[in-house]
Structure 1
Amino acid sequence: MRDGQRTMELGQRAPVLPALGRWGLSPHADLIYRSLALAGPATRQQLAGRLGVVVPRVDRALEELVGAGAVHPARRDDGRWSAVAADLVLSRMHRLRAPVRISDQHRRHLAVVAGLHLDSLPPVTVQRLPSRAAARSRIADLVAAERHEHLAINTEDVITADAAAAASPLDRALVARGVRLRTLGLIPRDGRQDPPFVNGGEHRQAAALPLKLMVFDRRSALFPVDPVRFDEGAVEIDDPDAIAHLTQLFYRIWNTAQDPRGREEPPIVLTAREQKIVALLAAGLSEEAAAADLGLSRRTVVYAVRALMDRLGVENRFQLALVLGAARAVPLPSAVPVDPA
């Protein structure tokens, strides 16, 4: 019997199937459960053919379903997976998990995550951290390895004492090592203007933020699995394109966010290393020559310039010189006429 015929026959007498997305499972996990429940047991390859998706995506969805207790693992004799009865799945879901409330915060979080196309990334670049404790431990490791820049978005209305106790020592250690620390938070509802950040860090506030996020030296990023229930753990990604996407997202918000200290135009403050690099480049040295003069790698010089361009929203080194010159951070480039007035 063909799958379509079997689906039609079973659909006439099948119970109402649970919408697994309400409990945080992915759309593909939901589709595969429905396919197994309505069209009967199938192998991984058969499921991929039914739904028109690649086998690795089927594998990840089946892993979710096994964790949720919604499928019976493949039989050894024929490799076919099968669905657990719908009423048992519903009972288990109600007992173990609360349905996810699709709020504006969830929608913003899911929109950003969908834009990363995690299902198409190499598996080695995506890691699931199963709990808040595991996420905090991994954050500590990543922070310890940072040397250039730490970006963070905090979506909580109120920073709990527990969260502050976990984050403050790490933030202070970053600043002490000369790492640029930039954080985004929500504008306090009660009008407070005392920004919750350490001395030496930079902080801005926005009316709405898309997701809780950390970006470590533009090499790794970490965000929660669920935007509200942080005990569900986090996802760490190391894919360069995904990291670039998240970094650009951060700076799009940063460039329009408010300085809680009331400055309309926050001053541009360069680190000692940035000042030396910019001065040498402004004097006409190449990136290689500037790196050799400072005893740095060319990659470090390129990274510093690229980071400055992203921070200030410019697209090339000439625009960077204009912005820095206008802020009196460096001399204006010689090719730009200066109004004597």
Structure 2
Amino acid sequence: MPESTDTIPRLTRWGVSPDADLIYRALTMMGGRKDTELSRELGLPRSRVVAALDELAAVRAAQPTRSATIRPGVARRWDPCPVPQVLRYLRRPVVPGSQRDRWRQHFGTLDGLDLPTLDESRIRHWTSRSLARRRIAHLGAAERHEHLAINTEEVITADATAAALPVDRGLVERGIQIRILGRPPGDGDRTTAHLAQVGGVGMTYRELPDLPIKLIVFDRRVALFPADPLNFEAGVVEVDDAPVVQALCGLFDRLWTQGRDPHRQGVPPITLTPREQALVALLSAGHTDVSAANELKLSVRTVAYTMRELMDRLGVENRFQLALLLGAAGAAPLPMSRTAVPRPPEQPDKEDG
């Protein structure tokens, strides 16, 4: 879904730091600023502002104004790059490995299991995707304890998600522990609809950029992996030989300890409670804490606590930063345009000389 032109998406979705995200929306809403001005207006140490601006420059989200006379230690004016341009850069596709590399990695992983024995009678080949899906459904229905999976696809389609979620919900409802390892999405966005739905089902999910094999393990008893890593239509290989399954579970456990939870790395959409929405709307319209408290029939202390809790939850340090975040995200009915953001009184810029 394309981003609204009236909002600025949170760049933390692509791994940008909270400081850099805040400063980008400040530049976009207020216009170009010197680092000393940003430091004063946002209430951040200049060292943090400078580091954040360097980070924004690295992801092509901000650039210093060109000047013929740049002296060390003198603040420069920084301008934001257009939101669509920044998103195109952050969402640039990850270049996948070659098919030959995927082939070698898949079979190299199987060869590297270093098994002392292998009972070939415990191996079966389900020769098509449809047969594989039926077998997966049958094994899933018989599960009692744990479901492990490694997905090597860079893009999980909406159709695939829709097909898998009912099965996964059924497992969760039966008390089956589900752990899934996947690759980060190709556009780097950590708040995709697929991840949101996976989290809603109740399973545990982690990501690693380099996963050697696609794999499903049922109750640490039966394992399935593609017969051909380059052609899933060729079906799957099923193994219930104990040493093989144990080795594959060991591989999964090692990869799992290296994985990261994308929900912790990314930032969920901003949602406000009805009280927070009403309070923020009044304060942005010019009310004081006292008059807002009177309007909402709250104590002044409750107003202060509500605002402090909201700032802590969103990771901002003062109400000016909060206004920038909520106004840019369109998360509250703020009568605030990009040219009407409140600005602290001007003070002499001692560092400009």
Q: TM-score range by the shorter chain?
A: 0.3 to 0.5
